[in-house]
Amino acid sequence: MKKSAVLMFILFVFVVFLGPAHAAALNQKNTGCGLGSMLFEDQNGLASQTFAVTTNGTFGNGTFGITSGTSNCDKPASFSSNKKLNEFVAENMDNVARDIARGNGEYLNTLAILAGVPESKHAVFYRQLQSNFSSIYTSDKVTHIDVLNSIEALSTYM
Lowest mean pLDDT: which of 24-33, 40-49, 69-78, 106-115?
24-33
Domain residue extents for the chain: 2-68, 79-154
CA pair distance 153, 63, nearest whole angstrom? 23
pTM as predicted: 0.51
pLDDT band for 7, please (50, 70, 90 cuts): low
pLDDT at 23: 44
CA pair distance 118, 115, nearest whole angstrom? 9
Q: What secondary structure letter does DSSP report for 14?
A: I
Average pLDDT (118-139) is 94
What contacts 88, CB < 8 A, 6 or more positions away? 96, 110, 111, 114
SS3 call for 148: helix
pLDDT band for 98, please (50, 70, 90 cuts): very high
Question: CB-side exposure of 43: number of CA atoms within 13 Å?
Answer: 14
CA pair distance 31, 50, nearest whole angstrom? 8
Q: What secondary structure letter does DSSP report for 139?
A: S
pLDDT tens profile 8-46: 767 665 555 544 444 444 444 566 677 777 777 777 777
pLDDT at 42: 74
